[in-house]
Amino acid sequence: MLSEGVRLMTPCLILGVLILAFLPHPTQGIRNNIGLMLKKPCRTTVPGRYLLADDQGYVCTALSFEAETHCCPKNVEKFSCQGCKMFSNCCNSYEYCVSCCLSPHRTPEELVLKIRIAKPITAGYYESVFDFCAGRCRHSSLSVVHENAYASDFHHCFSLSPNNSALPEELLGAGLSGINIVVGSRGENCNSVCGSKGQSCVPNRLSVLNKCDFLQRHMSCKSGCLSSMGADQPAEVVDDAPVDSNPGACLFTRQESMLSCGGAHQHTRRLCPCA
Where on the phi/psi map is residue 142: left (φ > 0), alpha (ψ -120 to 50), or beta? alpha
Residues 196-224 pLDDT 10s: 999 999 998 898 898 888 898 899 999 88
User: Does residue 55 register a pLDDT over 90?
Assistant: yes
SS3 218: helix
Whether the pLDDT of residue 46 is over 80: the answer is: yes
Evaluate if residue 169 carries a pLDDT over 60. no
The DSSP line for 47-71 is P-SSEEEBTTS-EEETTTS-TTT-P
pLDDT at 68 over 70: yes
Task: Assign residue 147 a region (left: φ > 0; alpha: ψ between -120 and 50; beta: otherwise).
Answer: left
Name the pLDDT band for 80 (thresholds 50, 70, 90): very high
Q: What integer pLDDT is reported at residue 87 of this predicted model?
A: 66
pLDDT for residue 27 is more than 70 = no
Please, are residues 85 and 154 in contact by the beta-carbon 8 Å criterion?
Answer: yes
* Average pLDDT, integer, range 122-140: 87
Structure confidence at residue 39 (pLDDT) = 75
pTM of the model as a whole: 0.50
The pLDDT, as a whole number, for residue 257 is: 83
So what's the pLDDT on residue 51? Answer: 95
> Per-residue pLDDT averaged across 73-84, rounded?
94
More confident residue, 147 or 87: 87
Q: Give the integer Cα–Cα distance in Å for 90 and 21.
A: 66
Pick the closest to residue 232 from 248, 216, 212, 255 (CA basis): 255
Please name which of 224, 103, 223 lies closest in space to residue 158, comparing C-alpha atoms: 103
